[in-house]
Every structure is written in C-alpha cells, then in structure tokens.
Amino acid sequence: MGSTPVGGRRTAWVGRGGASRRRLAPALWALFVATALVVPLLALWSVPDGAHQGWLQLVSLVAALAAASLLALTFVLPSRFRPVTGYLGVERLLRNHRALALAAVTLVAVHVGVVVGRPGPGIGTLDLRSAPPRVWAAMIATAGLVGIIALGLSRRRRRPRYEGWRLVHVLLAHVVLLATALHVLWLEDLTRFPAARLWFGAVALFLVLAFLHRWVWRPLRSYRNRYVVDEVRPVSSTATTLVLHAVGHPGVSFRPGQFAWLKIGTSPYVFEEHPFTIASAATEPWRKEFTIKGMGDFSELIAGLRPGRNVFIDGPHGSFTLDGLRSERFVLIAGGVGITPMLSMIRTLADRGDQRPVLLVVAGRTADDLLHRADGEHLGDRLDLEVVEVLEEPPEQWDGEIGRFTADVLERALPRRRTKQAVDYFVCGPGPMVAAATQIIGDRGVPSRRIHTELFDVV
C-alpha cells in the first residue's frame, strides 16, 4: 500500500480496497447462479432415454432441480464468506438472498402443481394419512419455505424482536434443507443416476462446509481474535460509544466503512449477535470503536458493559468503503446513526494524511442525532473537510440547514463551479433517506458506479 498522486495536485491513499473486484463481483455471482442452474439440468439431460416417463415428469424434475440449487445458494449467501460479503456487498447480498428464495418458492409451486396435476393419484398424493416418508419430507420442506417467505415479508410491517425473528428464520432454513435432502434421498427418482447422484453429493458437501464455516469456524476465529471492553461512554441521550482493544493479537484489519457482528459473553458460540459499523480508524486494527443507538435490549446491554468484559467480533464484512477508489473528492451523506461508517472514513483519511476534499452532510431530527460532534475531534485540522448539518427540529441559535436533506441542500453544499473531478458519493442511513439521497444524486448525472449506499435496516 502507498500514496499515489491523483490529478497531479493532491495526495491520495488508494490502497488495496478491491474496487475493481467489487465491480466484478455482481457479474461473477450471476455466472455462479447460472452455473448452479445449468449443471444439474445437464445432469438430468444425461439420464437414459425413457427414464423421465413423459414431459410432465420432465417439467417436474427440472423445477425440482432448479429449486434445490437455488435453495442451496440461498443458504450459502448469509454464511459470511468474506469474499462474498466483502465484494458483493451486504445490500446486494440480501437482495439476492430474498430473490433466490422467492424464485425457489415459485419453482417448488410448479413442481408440486405438476405432481398433483399429472395422471395418477393427483391430489391424493398430498393425503398425509397414507403418504410415505418422502411426501412428508416434501410437505415439511414446502411449509418451512412458505414460513420463511411469510416471516421475511412481514418483518418490516410487524417489527418483531430481532433475536426471536432471526432464531425462527435460521431454524426454518435448516429444517427446509434437511427435509429437502430427505425427500430427494427417499424419492430415489434421480439419485439412481450417476451424474445426478454426483451433483446432489457435491451440493450436500458444499452445504455441510458452509454450515461448518458459519457455525464452527467463524466463532472459533473470533475466539482467537477476541477483544475486551476498554471504555463505554454516552455520546448523546440515545447513543453510546463502545471502545474495544485486542487481546493477544495485533487486531483484525478492516476497511473504513465496514461492519462486524458483536457477541457478548464468555463464548463466541452463543446465538445472539448484532451487526454494528466500525466507527474507528482503519489505521488502528487493534482498537475498535462502535457508536450504537439505543434501540433494544442488546443496546441497553452494551451501555451497561464494564471494562475488561469479553467481546467477540465476527468481521469485517461489507463493501461500503472508499478504499481502492481513485477519486479526487468524496461526498458523504449520513442520516442519524448512519454517520458511523463516515466517521471511520474521515478518521482513516486524516490518519493517512489524505488531503482529498471531503464534504460531510449530516441529517437528523434533533441535535442529539449529530453524533460526529460527540468526541470533539478536530479532524478539519488534519483533513480538507467541510461539514454541513441539517436538522428537522433545530435548537435555538442554530445556523445550519433546517428541514430534511433535499436537492437544494446538496446544491448549496457542493462547489458552485462544476468540475470534471472524479467524485464518489456515499450515502448511509434509514431506507427512505437513502432512497431520496440516491435519487437526488442520480438526477445530477452522477453515474451509478459512483454512488455507494448502505441501509441501516436491512441486515
């Protein structure tokens, strides 16, 4: 890593942020999904002529194979493989997770519809009073899959407790996969053919490795790289900053803007964990700082921690980072606690001596939402930094912007004279605010590859 001149005027730390790999990641993932769908169909194509017992049977098998492949990918996506979370990005990952699950449900519906509609037992196939084990397994897998979809669709409307929602979601996912595997084995419709048997064996091995990686290896890694509490300090009436330091290791490296999952207790194998963005500088991997808004029991637990308490970190994850970007200027737009990745970015830029201009726009409801003020840092002394604050309910003697983040606010904050500089925009905060800011920036003619977003309500 090193310093590279950008534009012949300013010094910029480009580093190894993997920007090109992040741009390639969606295409590579699409290729991976296509492969997962095509390979089993080729395996089906290789079975002897006449083994399909008619075109309805063939449609049923194609839908079943495609659904099984998509279910496997749906399971693997949230297994926290760093190459996936680091380059695909958490937002795209979760969108793909949902899309694959919905596609799998559609294919399962096609499979069940063909099985019920073809000549023979018909709807009687679903009569569980006389059904063989393979039908029971299929019904359990289908019911579990429908339950997962219903759980996901109702989350935003009902706002259930995160811990309970996540536990039910994970349990249902494992039930669906196990029941699907048993259905395939007991049905013996495809496993009797060598090519199909090889495919199912490879998928099963892949899923077992993903399970071990997620639930055994990652907790073990976080145990070896544990942190302890240094300090817990309130930064506003609704937020707390947690400061950790590494014990017995030099710290886990990360890129500014990334997040990690935190577990509190004596073991990293406890189920409860929560994602928080790292707010400290990436130049100090042995020190991690998280600013956490009080929104539930876990946040209250954080506020009550004492120095010396063990904290296990699973991370870093996410592609919301400025590392690797050959930009000449950055515009950071934060809403509420969405300031935390921006704090990590500007602290890192200051520590690196990076003098590229940075515009930080912070939007909130009240002055308590201006979390960047809490530590009284004078980053502007070490960084070409301009800060614009926007409050909906400002205090008296307020000289900042009033209202919500709008196109006019951005126009007033940006230089009046437009240049051909390479500018990257980062937006983080609640969903509606991120959507509005992204629309405003896009309307200025900024290409989508220069707009980076992170939603604080999707993980």
Of the two residues 18 and 445, the one the predictor is more confident about is 445
Predicted confidence (pLDDT) per residue in 177-213, tens digit: 999 999 988 887 767 778 778 888 888 898 999 999 9
3-state secondary structure of 128: coil
Mean pLDDT over 301-317 rounds to 90
- Range of lowest pLDDT (5-14, 214-223, 229-238, 367-376): 5-14
Cis peptide before 316 (omega within 30 of 0): yes
Architecture of domain 223-317: Beta Barrel (2.40)
Most confident of 55-59, 247-251, 408-412, 438-442: 247-251
| Span of 32-36, 211-215, 386-390 with lowest mean pLDDT | 32-36
Alpha-carbon distance of 154 to 168, in angstroms, equals: 13
Give residue 375's pLDDT band: very low, low, confident or very high (50, 70, 90). Answer: low
Confidence of residue 2 (pLDDT cuts 50, 70, 90): very low
The top-scoring range by mean pLDDT among 196-200, 238-242, 257-261, 300-304 is 257-261
Per-domain residue ranges of the chain:
19-222, 223-317, 329-455
For 159-218, strand residue ranges (E) read none
pLDDT beyond 90 at 81:
no
Contact 253, 348 (CB under 8 A): no
Q: How far apart are CA 135 and CA 19, in angstroms?
A: 48
Statement: residue 249 has pLDDT above 90: yes
Surface-to-core class of residue 88, CB atoms within 10 Å of its CB (0-12 exposed, 13-18 middle, 19+ buried): buried
Q: Which helix (H) or strand (E) holds 207?
A: helix 194-212
pLDDT, tens only, 285-297: 999 999 988 766 6
Among candidates 358, 321, 331, which has minimal Cα distance to 424?
Answer: 331
Q: What is the pLDDT of residue 52?
A: 58
Report the candidate in 399, 337, 407, 348 with the shortest Cα–Cα distance to residue 374.
Answer: 337
List alpha helices for 5-89, DSSP H: 19-45, 55-76, 82-87
Rounded Cα–Cα distance for residues 274 and 362 (Å): 24
**Segment among 92-96, 299-303, 443-447 with least mean pLDDT:** 299-303
**What is the share, in percent, of the chain residues with pLDDT greater than 90?**
32
Query: Is residue 407 predicted with pLDDT exceeding 70?
Result: yes
pLDDT at 297: 66
| Tokens linked to 413 | 């904050």
Mean predicted confidence (pLDDT) in 215-219? 95
pLDDT band at 251 (very low <50, low <70, confident <90, very high): very high
DSSP state of 48: P
pLDDT band at 350 (very low <50, low <70, confident <90, very high): very high
CA distance 36 to 207: 13
Q: Sort 376 into a burial class: Cβ within 10 Å, 0-12 / 13-18 / 19+.
A: exposed
* CATH architecture group of domain 329-455: 3-Layer(aba) Sandwich (3.40)
pLDDT of residue 280 exceeding 90, the answer is yes
Q: What is the pTM of this model?
A: 0.83
Tell me which residue of 227, 191, 189, 211 sits closest to 81, measured CA to CA. Answer: 211
